[in-house]
């Protein structure tokens, strides 16, 4: 009897999760990144691993593992979409470490669903 109840709870939980996913899909860009945060995503269209930063970002080398408290460190050459919700903020992102290589300015209030549109898919190695 107890096992049965657990199974029923699990199934209804999945149904709720799927319903939430379906309902939020069209507004993923608005819902996925909190106000006053800049959000980096592993995949296009704000999917996959996500790192949010509330006060801007300055990271010289995403491949440097010394700062393992920063989730972004694991995203070297793997960021594919970005949302910038930090007011009055423009965040430069670079294809190479130490602010070198190709540069893209990620402006406040803008969503970049596919960095490939800017030639920057899976390339970002430093930010700031
Ligand atoms: Ca790179």
- Please give the pLDDT value at position 63: 84
Taking the centre of ligand 1 as the mean of its atom positions, its distance from the CA of residue 15, in whole angstroms, is 39
Contacts with 98 (C-beta within 8 Å, 6 or more apart), sequence order: 60, 61, 126
Confidence tier at 67 by pLDDT (50, 70, 90): low
Residues with a beta carbon under 5 angstroms from ion ligand 1: 77, 95, 123, 125
Confidence tier at 30 by pLDDT (50, 70, 90): very low
Taking the centre of ligand 1 as the mean of its atom positions, its distance from the CA of residue 18, in whole angstroms, is 35
- Please give the pLDDT value at position 39: 94
| 116: DSSP letter | G
- Please give the pLDDT value at position 64: 79
The domains of the chain, with CATH numbers, are: 32-127 (2.60.20.10)
């Amino acid at each position: 009897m107890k096992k049965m109840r657990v199974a029923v709870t699990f199934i209804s939980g999945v149904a709720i999760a799927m319903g939430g996913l379906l309902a939020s899909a069209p507004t993923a860009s608005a819902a996925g990144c909190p106000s006053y945060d800049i959000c980096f995503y592993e995949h296009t269209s704000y999917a996959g691993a996500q790192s949010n930063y509330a006060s801007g970002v300055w990271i010289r080398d995403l491949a440097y593992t010394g700062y393992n408290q920063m989730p972004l460190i694991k995203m070297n050459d793997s960021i594919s979409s970005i949302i910038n919700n930090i007011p009055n903020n423009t965040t430069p992102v670079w294809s190479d470490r130490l602010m070198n290589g190709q540069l893209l300015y990620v402006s406040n209030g803008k969503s970049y669903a596919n960095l490939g549109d800017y030639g920057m898919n899976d390339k970002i190695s430093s930010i700031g």
